[in-house]
Amino acid sequence: MSGRGSWTPEPAEPSDVSVSDAGATWRHLLAETRRALRAAGMPDLDARRLVERASGLEGGDLLMHLDEAVPRRAGAHLAAMIERRAAGEPLQYVMGRWGFRRLDLLVDHRVLIPRPETEQVVEVALAELRRLAPDRPSTVVDLGTGSGAIALSVAVEVVTAHVWGSDVSPAALAVARANLAGLGRPGARVRLVEGDWFAALPTELAGEVDLIVANPPYVAAGDDLPPEVADWEPAPALVAGPTGLEHLERIVDQAPRWLSRPGALVVELAPHQAPVVSTAARAAGFSQVEVRPDLAGRDRVVLARR
C-alpha cells in the first residue's frame, strides 16, 4: 500500500450525486463517501481508501483520474463498502486486504486484523533469526499463524528460512493458504498445518527449531475491548481465558522441547503480562530473557533464548 500515507487529494467538489447515480465521477463519489462516513464518525482517510479500493487506483493515480466517469459496477461496490464501514465494520475487513510489512494480505472475519504491534514482533524475530543462523538454512515455527502475516513475512524477508505455520482454526488456515498462494517463490519454503499449538507439528521437528514466534490470544475474559474489535474480530483468536495468560504460559513451557541449542522464542503479549511471562520463561529453562517495546514504547515482546 505504498504512497497511501503521503498523498492528500484536492478538495472534492460539493455534490448532490449519489454513489449509485449514473455518470458520477470519482471526484463526486469521493465527496459523497466523505459525507457518508463523516456522518458515521469515520475519518476522511477511510473514504479515500474505499474509493481507492473501488477504483483500483491509488495515490497520484487516483488524483489524475478524479474526473473520469465511474463504471456502474465500481460504483455499486463502493456503495456496499460505504454501508459496511458506516455500520462499524473495520476498514480492513471492508476492503478485504491489508498491508503488513512487505505483504498485501487477504483479511476477513476468519482472522485477526494484522497490526503494527505484530510488525514489531516480526522485526524482533528477524533480528534474532539472523543472529542464530546468519549463513545457513534455518527452521522457524509460527504458532497461531492466522492470516499468515508472521510466517509469510519471515519467508519473504529471510531467504534461507523454512517456515511452519500452525493454527487450530481450519477457517484461519484457509485464509493463510490463500495468502500463501499469492506469495510466489518464497511460498515453497512455507508449510501450513492444522492443530493445537505444538501438537500440529511433526515430532521430528522436536529439538530442531531455530526460532519459535507466536502471537497467541492474550486478552482475559471480561476485559473491555473497543466495539470495532469485540463485535467483529474472532473471539477465539483474542481471548485466552480468565487470566489472559493461559496460552502464553503453555507456549513458554513447551517451547524448550522444540528448540535447538541455541534457539529462541519470541512472543507477543500485553504490556502488563511481560513480567509474568518473563518469569515463566526463566522457570522453563531459558537462559536469557528480554522484554522489547513496540513503536509506542510499551512492553510488547518477550524474547527468550536457550
**Contact in structure between 230 and 259 (CB atoms under 8 Å):** no
The domain spans of the chain are 1-88, 106-305
Band of the pLDDT at 82, cuts 50, 70, 90? very high
106-305 domain in CATH 3.40.50.150?
yes
Domain at 1-88: CATH architecture: Orthogonal Bundle (1.10)
Cell 499468515, residue located: 148
Predicted confidence (pLDDT) per residue in 8-56, tens digit:
334 433 334 355 555 789 999 999 999 999 999 999 999 999 999 999 9
pTM score of the predicted model = 0.88
Q: What is the pLDDT of residue 21?
A: 54
* 26-39 vs 72-86: helix crossing angle, rounded to 10: 10
Q: What is the pLDDT of residue 59?
A: 81
**CA pair distance 81, 27, nearest whole angstrom:** 17
Q: Tell me which of 278 and 1 has the higher pLDDT.
A: 278
Whose CA is closest to 52, among 7, 83, 22? Answer: 7
Cell of 215: 502471537
